[in-house]
Amino acid sequence: MHLILFILFAGICLAGAVNLLLQTHPINSALSLIVVMTSLAVLYLQLGAEFLAAAQVIVYAGAIMVLFTFVVMLLNAGREERTRGSRAAVVVGFPAVAVLLAVATTVVQHTPKLGTSTFGDTMSNQPGATNLEVLSGVLFTKLLLPFEVTSVLILVAILGSVALARFGHGEKGAGE
C-alpha cells in the first residue's frame, strides 16, 4: 500500500519535472512544476509531515506558483527559441548521468543506517501527540527568534518587490 502510493506519486513527480524541461512555453513549465509540488506534498504526508504537506500546498503551490503564473501571463513573452544544441552533450551526457545515478544508488542502498520508513510516523515519543503539536512546541519555544526574523525577512521582500516592480520615472505607466 505504501509502496504503491510511493511509486505512483514519485512517478508523477518525475514526470512533472521532466515535462518542465521538455516544454517550450513557460506556462506549461509552470503547470508541470505545480504538479511536482502537489505530489511532493503527498510524499510529505507519507513521511508523517502533515503540517508541511499542507504548507507546501498553501504556500508553494497556492501562492508562489500563482505568482509565477501571473508573471508568465502578464509578460507574455511567448515560446522560447531553440538554440543550437551540442551533439557532444548528448553523446557523453546521458551515459554519464546514468553512470552517476548507478553509483549513487549503490552507495545509498548499501548504507546500513538508513532503514525503511513507516507510513506516517509520528515524531514524538508519547503516543497521541500530533505532528502539529510537536512542531509548534519546538518552533515557538526554542526557535522563536528565527521565526520572528523570518517575518522581518518577508517584510523586506515585500518592500523590495514593490519598489522594483513599480513604474520608474521616465517610463510610460498606467497611472500610479
Partner 1 sequence: MNADSIQFFQQEVPLSWYLLLSAVLFALGVVGFLIKRNLITVFMSIELMLNAVNLSFVTFAHQWHAVKGQIFVFFVMVVAAAEAAVGLAIIIAVFRARSTLAVDRIDLMKL
Partner 2 sequence: MPGSLRRGKNSVTILQFFLWSLLKIIVVTVVMLMSVAYTVLLERKLVGRIQNRWGPSRVGPFGLLQPLVDGAKSFLKEDIIPTSVYRPLYLLAPIIALTCALVSIGVVPFGSPAVTGPGGFHIFEISDVNIGLLLILGITSMSVYGVALAGWSSNNKYSLLGSLRASAQLVSYELALGLSLVGVVLSSGTLNLREIVEHQATHGLLTWNLFGGLQFVAFFIYLTAAYAETNRSPFDLPEAESELVAGYHTEYSSMKFAMFFMAEYANMINVGCVATLIFLGGWTSPFGDLIPMPQNIVFRSLLPIFWFVLKVFSFLFLYVWVRGTLPRFRYDQLMNFGWRYLMPLAILNIVATSLWVAYK
* Burial category of 30 from C-beta neighbours within 10 Å (exposed 0-12, middle 13-18, buried 19 and up): buried
Touching partner 1, residues 68-97 (CB under 8 A)? 68, 71-72, 75, 77, 80-81, 83, 97
**Residue closer to partner 2, measured from CB, 24 or 86:** 24
Pick from 14, 90, 93, 119: which binds partner 2 (CB under 8 A)? 119
Asked if 126 interacts with partner 1 (CB under 8 A), we say no
Binder of partner 1 out of 164, 174, 175, 176 (CB under 8 A): 164
Min separation Cβ 113 and partner 2, Å: 26
23 touching partner 2, by CB under 8 A: no
Pick what 34 binds: partner 2, partner 1, none; C-beta below 5 to 8 Å, kind-dependent.
partner 2
Q: What is the DSSP letter of 123?
A: S
Q: Could you give phi then psi for residue 125, rounded to 5 degrees? A: -85, -30
What does the radius of gyration of the chain's CA atoms come to, in whole angstroms?
22
Rounded Cα distance between 19 and 17, Å, is 5
8 binds partner 1 (CB under 8 A): no
Q: Is residue 36 involved in binding partner 2 (CB under 8 A)? A: no
Q: Which listed residue (6, 20, 43, 69) binds partner 2 by CB under 8 A?
A: 69
Torsion, CA 9, CA 14, CA 15, CA 19, rounded to 10: 140
Q: CA 82 to CA 168: how far, in whole Å?
A: 33
* Burial 142-176, CB ≥16 within 10 A → b, else e: eeeeeeeeeeeeeeeeeeeeeeeeeeeeeeeeeee
Nearer to partner 1, 95 or 161 (CB): 161
Residues that bind partner 2 (CB under 8 A): 1, 27-28, 31, 34, 50-51, 53-55, 57-58, 61-63, 66, 69-70, 73, 119-120, 130-132
